[in-house]
């Protein structure tokens, strides 16, 4: 058995890597155990990699906005290039969808002043290939591409430098509470920690079961993505991230190609998700229904699990019944854009501090993310 540490973090996706770094900055000793042979094998490695304040509910929005400062000014030596690149995002609405568009605008414009409700002419100027029928748009010019590999790599690099140990091929198979400590069994090895951080993504409820905690109703939902070759004569470089306001599809430019998803949310067990051809075809059909662009070649396709609890806000905090078991889960489709502030919030709560001041001003409260909202019925 290894020497006891303050925290064993289970999972080396964006959640596990980011909280490991933030805990190390608060002086905690940390080991990260990851079941797979490398970090980000599951959901983190399968995202669409965008940052959009208009995407997600008000809690997600507060955490996303709180992350802006980190993206603009990451710690020294974190990365070699900026973490965010230009994109711009647009929700599209047909006449009957205008109330939904208004609703998003009302919510987002309360906390971000450069978003706009734009008319048909603006929309068709941005997307000349759009078929007729769209009446208006919601325009978020500062939506950005996130360099996910750089973000994750920065966390792992600086966490390792601060003394965090990452152990791969280390699936946690049992958790036992003895006195004030946890004994964590993984592939024939044992680790000892005062606290466990559950950053196991789609497996979060399974890990809770191992710890004797009540599962929170985590729902992994599969989303399918493909990258299609841009047809001859089409210029995608000016296209924004484009989302139907009812989120039945979205697409965006992807290194000269087109990333397309049917925005599916297919309930799944926590598994190594893969793309079904029929879901790729559905995404392309919805894209072609919206755009006067014919897709002929799919270059890549994949699927990943976006894991939600019922209110679609993340779950961050100590379990209300099992001592020393800390949740950092339920990031849904927003776990990359929220990662910097979510990790600072989680690390603060994990060492017994309150919500960091810079997040309070964006309306983030510990109650809105607490696991207790699903445990105190
Ligand atoms: C198609 C798609 C598009 C997306 N697009 C975006 C986007 O544009 N912007 C955005 O912000 N978010 C996006 N997301 C969501 C984002 O990717 C996730 O919210 C985020 O990656 C979740 O990170 P995580 O660390 O919680 O999970 P994961 O990356 O899945 O990490 C969990 C880790 O825990 C490990 N694990 C599980 N059980 C155990 C165990 N018993 N022992 C040891 N290790 C274990 C797993 O192997 C896994 O590596 C998207 C997701 C998908 C699928």
pLDDT tens for residues 37-60?
Answer: 999 999 999 999 999 999 999 999
pLDDT of residue 3: 77
Q: What is the pLDDT of residues 268-290, one digit of tens each?
A: 999 999 999 999 999 999 999 99
Q: Is it true that 5-62+148-217+311-374 and 89-141+219-308 share their CATH fold?
A: no
pLDDT, tens digit, 9 for 90 and up, residues 319-329: 999 999 999 99
Cα–Cα distance, 369 to 312 (Å, whole number): 10
Please classify residue 361 by burial: count the beta carbons closer than 10 Å to its beta carbon, then call 0-12 exposed, 13-18 middle and 19+ buried. exposed
CB-ligand 1 contact for 47 (6 Å cutoff): yes
The arrangement of secondary structure in 89-141+219-308, i.e. its CATH architecture, is 2-Layer Sandwich (3.30)
**179 alpha carbon – ligand 1 mean position (Å):** 32
Distances (CA, A) of 167 to 8, 158, 325: 11, 16, 20
The pLDDT of 64-88, averaged and rounded, is: 96
* The pLDDT of residue 2 is above 80: no
What is 5-62+148-217+311-374's CATH topology?
FAD/NAD(P)-binding domain (3.50.50)
Whole-number percent of the chain with pLDDT over 90: 98
Please name the residue whose Cα sits nearest to atom 14 of ligand 1: 333
Q: Give the span between the Cα atoms of 200 and 326, in whole angstroms.
A: 11
Tens digits of residue pLDDT in 213-272: 999 999 999 999 999 999 999 999 989 999 999 999 999 999 999 999 999 999 999 999
Long-range contacts of 162-166 (CB under 8 A, 24+ apart): 162/21, 162/24, 162/25, 163/24, 163/29, 163/30, 164/20, 164/21, 164/23, 164/24, 164/30, 164/31, 164/32, 165/30, 165/31, 165/32, 166/12, 166/20, 166/32, 166/34, 166/39
For residue 239, which of 128, 105, 135 has the smallest C-alpha distance?
Answer: 128
Instruction: Give the N- to C-terminal CA distance of the chain in Å, as an integer.
Output: 38
Q: Evaluate: CB of 11 within 6 angstroms of ligand 1.
A: yes
Residue 104 pLDDT more than 70? yes
For residue 176, give the H/E element and its range: strand 172-178
35 lines ligand 1 (CB under 6 A): yes
377: pLDDT confidence band, cut at 50, 70 and 90? low
Q: With a 6 A CB cut-off, is 330 part of the ligand 1 pocket?
A: no
CA distance 170 to 38: 10
Q: CA 313, 318, 319 angle in degrees (round to 5)?
A: 90
Query: CA-to-CA distance for 211 and 220, rounded, in angstroms?
Result: 20
What percent of the chain is modeled with pLDDT above 70?
Answer: 99
Domain spans of the chain, in order of start: 5-62+148-217+311-374, 89-141+219-308
Nearest to 152 by CA among 305, 307, 340, 8: 340
- Can you give the pTM of this predicted structure? 0.97
pLDDT at position 322, please? 97
Q: Determine the distance separating the centroid of ligand 1 and the alpha carbon of 265, expressed in angstroms.
A: 15
Arithmetic mean of pLDDT, 59-69: 97
Residue 1, pLDDT > 90, answer no
């Amino acid at each position: 058995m290894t020497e006891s540490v303050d925290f064993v973090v289970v999972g080396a996706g964006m959640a596990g890597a980011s909280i490991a770094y933030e805990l190390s900055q608060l002086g905690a000793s940390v080991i990260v155990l990851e079941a797979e042979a490398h970090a980000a094998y599951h959901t983190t490695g399968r995202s669409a990699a965008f940052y959009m304040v208009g995407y997600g509910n008000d809690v997600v929005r507060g955490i996303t906005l709180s992350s802006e400062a980190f993206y603009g000014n990451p710690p020294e030596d974190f990365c070699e290039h900026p973490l965010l690149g230009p994109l711009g995002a647009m929700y599209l609405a047909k006449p009957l969808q205008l109330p939904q568009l208004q609703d998003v605008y009302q919510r987002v414009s309360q906390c971000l002043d450069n978003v706009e409700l734009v008319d048909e002419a603006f929309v068709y100027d941005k997307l000349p290939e759009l078929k007729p029928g769209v009446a208006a748009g919601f325009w978020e010019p500062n939506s950005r591409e996130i360099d996910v590999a750089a973000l994750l790599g920065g966390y792992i690099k600086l966490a390792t430098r601060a003394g965090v140990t990452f152990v791969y091929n280390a699936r946690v198979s049992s958790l036992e509470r003895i006195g004030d400590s946890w004994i964590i069994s993984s592939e024939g090895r044992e680790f000892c920690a005062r606290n466990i951080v559950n950053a196991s993504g789609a497996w979060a409820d399974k890990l809770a079961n191992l710890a004797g905690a009540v599962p929170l109703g985590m729902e992994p939902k599969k989303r399918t993505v493909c990258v299609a070759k841009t047809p001859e004569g089409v210029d995608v470089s000016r296209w924004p991230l484009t989302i139907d306001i009812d989120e039945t599809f979205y697409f965006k430019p992807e290194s000269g190609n087109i990333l397309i998803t049917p925005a599916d949310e297919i309930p799944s067990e926590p598994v190594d998700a893969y793309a079904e051809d029929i879901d790729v075809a559905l995404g392309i059909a919805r894209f072609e229904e919206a755009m006067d662009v014919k897709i002929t070649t799919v270059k890549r396709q994949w699927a990943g699990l976006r894991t939600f609890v019922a209110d679609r806000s993340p779950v961050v905090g100590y379990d209300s019944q099992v001592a020393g078991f800390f949740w950092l889960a339920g990031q849904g489709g927003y776990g990359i854009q929220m990662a910097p502030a979510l990790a600072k919030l989680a690390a603060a709560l994990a060492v017994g501090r309150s919500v960091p001041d810079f997040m309070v001003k964006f309306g983030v409260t510990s109650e809105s993310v607490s696991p207790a909202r699903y445990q105190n019925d």
